[in-house]
Amino acid sequence: MSAKDIPEVAVLQFLESLNGAPATWFDNEGGLFANSIQHGMPAGIPPKIALAKIAAMIRKKLVDGCACGCRGDFIIAVKGRVVLVSTGANTSD
């Protein structure tokens, strides 16, 4: 699987479910923090591919944050919310 195969809507739904709190990139000594962006990705996705997906979504202005591999502080952007509404996948209904 490559980054382009990861559904953007699932990632956006996860970010929206955090209610404005940022998602992180870090794991918790092999486990994932509750706000790890990896929860918005399909199970078993290698971190490099997940990070590539987030970087692509930042370039598309669907997500704000830092895709360098640091903490991340990923949040859904206005354009990402528009995508959720337009696809009927808005989780805040």
In a domain, 70, yes or no: yes
In a domain, 67, yes or no: yes
In a domain, 93, yes or no: no
What is the model's pTM? 0.86
In a domain, 56, yes or no: yes
| CATH number where 27 lies | 1.10.10
- Indicate the number of domains in the chain: 1
Give me the mean pLDDT over the 69-79 stretch. Answer: 88
Contact predicate 63/76, CB 8 Å: yes
In a domain, 73, yes or no: yes
pLDDT value of position 1: 82
Burial per residue of 59-87, b for 16 or more beta-carbon CB atoms within 10 angstroms, e otherwise: eeebbbbebeeeebebbbbeebbebbeee
Identify the bridge partners of residue 24 per DSSP, sorted by sequence position: 36
In a domain, 18, yes or no: yes
| Structural domain of 75 | 3-86
**pLDDT tens per residue across span 26-70:** 766 767 888 888 889 998 888 888 889 999 999 999 999 988 877
Quick one: pLDDT band at residue 90, thresholds 50, 70, 90? low
In a domain, 45, yes or no: yes
Give me the residue label for tokens 């949040």: 75
